[in-house]
Structure 1
Amino acid sequence: MNLHAIKAIYLFEMARTWRTLWQSIVSPVISTSLYFVVFGAAIGSRMQEIDGVAYGAFIVPGLVMLSLLTQSISNASFGIYFPKFTGTIYEVLSAPISTCEIVAGYVGAAATKSVILGLIILATAAFFVPLRIEHPLWMLAFLVLTAVTFSLFGFIIGIWAEGFEQLQFVPMLVVTPLTFLGGSFYSIDMLPPLWRTISLFNPVVYLVSGFRWSFFGTADVHIGVSVAMTLVFLVLCLAGIAWIFRTGYRLKA
């Protein structure tokens, strides 16, 4: 394992974060804070508790997950797309480093940024709503697992994309709607039976539910199922990346 290569890619990507601090950290935190103000304070004060949890606190895991998913995909996809766009990806591919080391560098940096952002949003949420975390270790584990999984997914999107429009297509038109419909702002038990069944086909439901369990000990789906679904998606992403590097899909001219 070439740790120097991983470190070089990782540090380069992390340095890009500090150069674009407003876009990478400040902007998502401000946007999420507005959700807390509107949904947590204004609307939440007029809504009843859900599973014994105040509505303002109930939506915190969903909002963190919303930011985590979109930022993981965005960070990883932009990180690998720009080397493709500028042509420097060929220097990386010709260097004496393996596929695992390339992926570890790019995905590791993207996941780190997302985890940092998630923790900042959690700290910010404490200023707006009373927050408790019953299973902090599970919360951190789920945070890291989700960040890594969707950073891998973003890495695939960055390789697949041939333009900035495609780069934004999946996060904006697929992932974000699925997150809003995945129980971020409500419990799927509140839905009619038919829509509750349909919601179970939304993979984001399992992510939000598992993450919410680590906070309040209640969930729409059993925590074991949530972790299993996340791991399945992780394996699929790894298989997809392995196929991309084996075939050279959109990497080789």
Structure 2
Amino acid sequence: MTAPASVVAIIAAPLPAWKSPTPPPQASLQKRATTLIPDTCFSSTETFESYFSYNYPWGDTHNGAALMSEAQVSIIHNAYLQLESVYTGPQSDDSSLSYNSGTVYAKQQFTVEADGGLAPDFQANFVAPVAQGTWPAFWLTGVDSWPPEIDLAEWKGTGKISFNTFNTSSEVSALDVTYPSPTTAWRTILVELRAEADGSTVKASFYMDGTLVTTQYGANMVGAPFYLIIDYQMLGSSGSTGPTETTYFDVQYLSVVSYNP
């Protein structure tokens, strides 16, 4: 999650669950599939909690102005995950924090393996806020060290969506593209991770609504374990001021499926 932003956009309230979008398209590879997280993982709070934990793997804050808590995480109508951000003003315990928000991470760690091993696809539908100061993200970060990091999708308050791969803190492949209108519509993000023939490089193919947007390469990422995080951070890389009204980040049909190429 990187780079500051400064464009104001309008945040929409959460969509009603009964207007469920069409399930996302199938991944491009269809052989020897292993489902690691099914797209029904948000069908109930109990099911969600069997696959995800609250906050970050390391605690309840990270590079922004939001304090994370379980109270800000909900499963809506047994259909989708909702992360809610509430403006509090400077908090008494830490004046650098001015929001209560929600973040969750997968209990399972994910590794791209060489020689026909695991080759995961990460896919979900999103309604993501794009206003200045809002910083939702769907990302992978190294378990044993940072980097590596792959931002499967990141919104930094500019009206754009970002796709990024960190080889080092300064060697980064990054692409920002305009986020389609209306921003209140569900958008499908799919990222395919595959081991290259050299046995150490991970090829990341980023799709939005079924169209390939960019391909990036992560050096020395084969065999490295990753955390998967669904994050609704505030301020930080999305600007120094943000909304004072309650805002939401919604996620539906999340799945992780591994293919043996």
What's the TM-score once normalised by structure 1's chain length? 0.27
User: Which structure has greater helix proportion?
Assistant: 1
Which entry has the higher C-alpha Rg, 1 or 2? 1
User: Which structure has greater strand proportion?
Assistant: 2
What's the TM-score once normalised by structure 2's chain length? 0.27
